[in-house]
Structure 1
């Protein structure tokens, strides 16, 4: 029996996703394999934790162990199937939305022998289903090397993590068409660009076609050259269901394998990095099912990329606009697949540290066709080259999970634009200062929040804004100081690492907003919900923004003060200390107003039901799944009027 302990990475993720309620149970279950002796509630909790940590790349059990445990749970608790709720703990950000159906990755094979073994698994499934082997057909299609997306007929989504993606319908609004004059709503596919068009008209401006694919869905204005490619029909969304294919008997496939693969590989005028083989019979597909990553009835055949061993000259840090420091390995120039490779991005600084990437390290680099080169493995490890300071502003860097991050949100040139956009977006009371206008101001030398608030109407005009726009911008800045906003929202707008809205509110329940800047990590750790790693990052982040915070606070914003923790104040309302989740449409008041009022009465408001939830307050149009989930966890359900009677 091996000792297992959750590390800091695990704990931080579970705190973020509000799944850190029983860490000892998780450690004990992994260590002692006691899963099957747990009660239903604890089994469910364990599987949720295992799934979330797996999706963050720090799994605690293997795929096969998870599949076995999840299947056993679903079979023995059919009233509480886990599949639809397993994503509850996944942290969402931006405009993340649930995909209409899962978009799994495709398992890979690199030889005909591996394809034959996959066919054997198809045959076994057919035998179980009493399907004659002679009736088995295989469909072979090009594996497009594009940007995976899903079209449900109303919206277009990115693949994301396979379960949650981003709404990119804007690409269709820009003129992106469905390939082959196809109709909308054909499900999964890829956003691609014609190879010949790229070579002739865009290769002088873009390094490779992947840059184009990303530009098509960009939130900001599209590059005019990319927009023309869309208008010319060179960029399309290609649904897998209508793509060129070979469909035939498995014996013909094995007999003419090389020619079939070659023909399909070259069947389209887009970048292709393999072919996909799949069983066509719906019964076989259903029987074979899927792992957590792949459909078992489908496999991709790929040709091994050209590889070379390349020596590292140095590892150069680059600070992104989000503050994450990206390691770039500078290489001894080496020709691979017809291109000279002199640099390659390393995934993150934890990869640099754990794999020993530094000067004189030897990396195996792979590249196929126009695909961006990647590190396959570290052949010879050395002392890792890890920076202590941000290359943009020289601030001391901090670790955040696998990444080094610059905590200096106020004065880091690389982060200036994003910091200003984040401030106004979080404040939410000023529409005039979106990304476009912020970009214009930063290009003209405006770098700080307090500087923007100091701009007069005539100065906006001098910056190139129209007369009417200048007056509007000036007036919006004035209004944003006068309209009351929560103090936790104001603090969160400064973008301190680990200080999202929830953590800001939690801190301000115990200390005033000015006291926070004097707190030590030890004092923050004493507050429920903060781990040591988070506390240290918060202290350093607050120190970095203190000067700017003081200047902005002096502009007389109208802040409402967060109500102190009821345990500190001795609040005696009927819901003081309770954890409440509101769901459905409310008739007496808006849901946001009810949440604010509940907090005023000393309650804690959650977004999803957990084992710690006290009440689920249900309005109209609430799904049975959510209500059943609450009942399973022993959460009391109150109708809107019952809740109002309780607090009255």
Structure 2
């Protein structure tokens, strides 16, 4: 896109917004004015988002934009790349998966300066002296954006690093991401950026949600991620998303350094962060991080550290990558932030499995740019240990800079500590303790658990009933059509058609999916009914051991403990679940409609005597991968021990399983290494 001259375009400098009535214009004049407006709006977007130097006020910009919309609607002169496309196109049926032009890998990280210096020592050993480029580590959603001949053609989320979700239509609505590049751009350019929600916009957006009776978003990152993954682009367009770009993934011309990318991207019209710096050595990187952390509270976007990159791209290529991360980059993380506030009240949430979670309702406090009004108290033992109660002044932190929790009481204003009720606050069933965890014994008959239980029953980890998402479940329950799980099988088309938003096709599809669910595998059914601590892997072990649902329901503790990967606590939980009259009644009602079948395992013994544990996000459902290895003779368990042969680590794993693997000398495989192992064993994916 060429530079716009004020002499040639009257809407660039001090535009006159006293427009001629649309009704008095002809199509030729409307088309010419619309093109000038499109050109000017793109210019003003660049000045505002990239240059941070707007030349017109918001009201004037809005007048130009509204005029363009009026002309395009009245004369049907809209172009595919018009700025008005930012208000959103047609809703999508689903987000498709697309392969990235180059892997979008993660980076190793630490909050310790010595680890950062260790990274620098390795770099110097392998490639000699280097200089670094330091960026803020944005806490948003990573994005690939592709331009061909200067035109925006595609955008995708990071996904598993190799493939991501196609969010092209949603990204078109983000004003800071241009539809056309500027200047002397490459013929082909794929760039990586971070979509985020500015903190001031996030606060205002949440305020509006609360005023409309909707739950606020927990943090800007969740809000950005949820906004970008909407199926309706017009919903995304209503969210005030923004984006910083910081890396060239692929291009038709070479960039010798990361700094040359940083200098070039704004020339192409792509927004970069003004806190990026080029430094001489690792001590400068550490100083950069400390200075950025000191300024963190003044930034209008969330960051959780800094990213240190070797500047020279040729040396980056020499350093290479691991299966999951770039070896030429390192993240120096910030410590978790904390603030003080008072506990106004404590409420109790009842989860899908009946677990009671006490939640502190706080006097709103800003923690890391996010207004926090509630925080987890975890469990009764922790409440007692910290001596937490209503009225106390407490320190609030954000675990991983995301989840708020009360870390300590800093000033006591109450006597004693908060104690959980003896009965479920929703259904009145007795509350039982399992160590530090408290459970409602109402089970599937507890209405607080019903919404989550039905949604889980129809989820991928349950019976995979397409169309039975959380929104639909809530609607069915609120309409009185679902008072217990077995009511699913009593739904009829007439009842569904009376609900708002339902047509014949959607009703027929849901009923057909429910009908399909009547002959599940025994493993899927056991997983679906929500027995505490029985996930997909444990359910498969139960189904492999017992012949029928009756056998599982009537197995004693010794028989259950004989099942692989089931210990005394899990066995006791299963026994308690089926000993509950309410639970047993619900299951028996379900079995009047559903006939679980024991699957015969078909496969080989290529992986005989091997034990795998999986952690983190994988490219396929973990249950499917576990089933694959089990079908070829292996065991897939949920915890790492000395008997484990391999721990397979996906994206965003927790710390406990890798730590257990290190302690037990268990080899850790990336997902790619795992698939290679299976390929070498002659097992098709």
Superposition TM-score, scaled by structure 1 size: 0.56
The separation in 2 between residues aligned to 1:375 and 1:332, in whole angstroms, is 13
Q: Deviations over 1:324-346 (max 9, x none)?
A: 53332345787889999764333
Structure 2 gap segments, 5+ residues each: 1-96, 147-154, 182-187, 249-261, 263-271, 613-623, 646-670
Q: Pick from 480, 488, 513 the counterpart of residue 452 of structure 1.
A: 488
Structure 1 equivalent of residue 135 of structure 2: 141
Partner SS, residue 588 of structure 2: helix
The separation in 2 between residues aligned to 1:288 and 1:527, in whole angstroms, is 45
The separation in 2 between residues aligned to 1:466 and 1:321, in whole angstroms, is 30
State the 1:513 CA deviation.
Answer: 1.5
Q: Deviations over 1:13-66 (max 9, x none)?
A: xxxxxxxxxxxxxxxxxxxxxxxxxxxxxxxxxxxxxxxxxxxxxxxxxxxxxx
Partner SS, residue 445 of structure 2: coil
Cα 1:510/1:149, change in 2 over 3 Å = same
The separation in 1 between residues aligned to 2:532 and 2:237, in whole angstroms, is 40
Task: Determine if contact 1:407/1:496 at 8 Å carries over to the other structure.
Answer: no
| Alignment partner of 1:419 is 2:453 | yes
Partner SS, residue 365 of structure 1: strand
Partner SS, residue 452 of structure 2: helix
Structure 1 equivalent of residue 196 of structure 2: 192
The separation in 2 between residues aligned to 1:400 and 1:294, in whole angstroms, is 43
The separation in 2 between residues aligned to 1:400 and 1:105, in whole angstroms, is 37
The separation in 2 between residues aligned to 1:285 and 1:387, in whole angstroms, is 60
The separation in 2 between residues aligned to 1:491 and 1:254, in whole angstroms, is 52
The separation in 1 between residues aligned to 2:673 and 2:116, in whole angstroms, is 41
Structure 1 equivalent of residue 157 of structure 2: 156
Structure 2 equivalent of residue 466 of structure 1: 503
Task: Determine if contact 2:611/2:644 at 8 Å carries over to the other structure.
Answer: no
Cα 1:178/1:624, change in 2 over 3 Å = farther
State the 1:273 CA deviation.
Answer: 5.9
Structure 1 equivalent of residue 359 of structure 2: 328
Structure 1 equivalent of residue 523 of structure 2: 488
Q: Deviations over 1:378-413 (max 9, x none)?
A: 558965745554433344556789765556552233
Structure 1 equivalent of residue 350 of structure 2: 319
Task: Determine if contact 2:203/2:371 at 8 Å carries over to the other structure.
Answer: no
Cα 1:516/1:258, change in 2 over 3 Å = closer
State the 1:366 CA deviation.
Answer: 5.4
State the 1:459 CA deviation.
Answer: 2.6
State the 1:535 CA deviation.
Answer: 0.8
Kindly report which structure 2 residues correspond to 1:605-620, keeping only aligned pairs within 5 A, or say none.
Answer: 606=635
| Alignment partner of 1:107 is 2:138 | no
Structure 1 gap segments, 5+ residues each: 1-94, 159-163, 566-572, 583-591, 614-621, 632-636, 641-648
Superposition TM-score, scaled by structure 2 size: 0.53
Q: CA RMSD in A?
A: 5.9
Structure 1 equivalent of residue 62 of structure 2: none
Q: Deviations over 1:505-540 (max 9, x none)?
A: 433433531243333434422334320011111122
Task: Determine if contact 1:320/1:415 at 8 Å carries over to the other structure.
Answer: yes
Task: Determine if contact 2:310/2:316 at 8 Å carries over to the other structure.
Answer: yes
Structure 1 equivalent of residue 557 of structure 2: 521
| Alignment partner of 1:344 is 2:375 | yes
Task: Determine if contact 2:343/2:360 at 8 Å carries over to the other structure.
Answer: yes
Kindly report which structure 2 residues correspond to 1:239-638, keeping only aligned pairs within 5 A, or say none.
Answer: 239=246, 243-244=272-273, 245-249=276-280, 261=292, 270-272=301-303, 276=307, 280=311, 298=330, 300=332, 307-308=339-340, 310=341, 312=343, 315-320=346-351, 323-330=354-361, 343-346=374-377, 351-352=382-383, 355-358=386-389, 363-365=394-396, 374-377=405-408, 385-386=419-420, 389-396=423-430, 404=438, 406=440, 408-425=442-459, 428=463, 430-445=465-480, 446-464=482-500, 465-471=502-508, 473-474=510-511, 476-478=513-515, 480-481=517-518, 484-508=519-543, 509-510=545-546, 512-542=548-578, 543=580, 544-555=582-593, 557-561=594-598, 606=635
The separation in 2 between residues aligned to 1:240 and 1:628, in whole angstroms, is 32
Aligned residues: 484
Task: Determine if contact 2:198/2:220 at 8 Å carries over to the other structure.
Answer: no
Cα 1:604/1:405, change in 2 over 3 Å = farther
The separation in 2 between residues aligned to 1:388 and 1:356, in whole angstroms, is 19
The separation in 2 between residues aligned to 1:403 and 1:293, in whole angstroms, is 37
Partner SS, residue 174 of structure 1: helix
Cα 1:262/1:302, change in 2 over 3 Å = closer
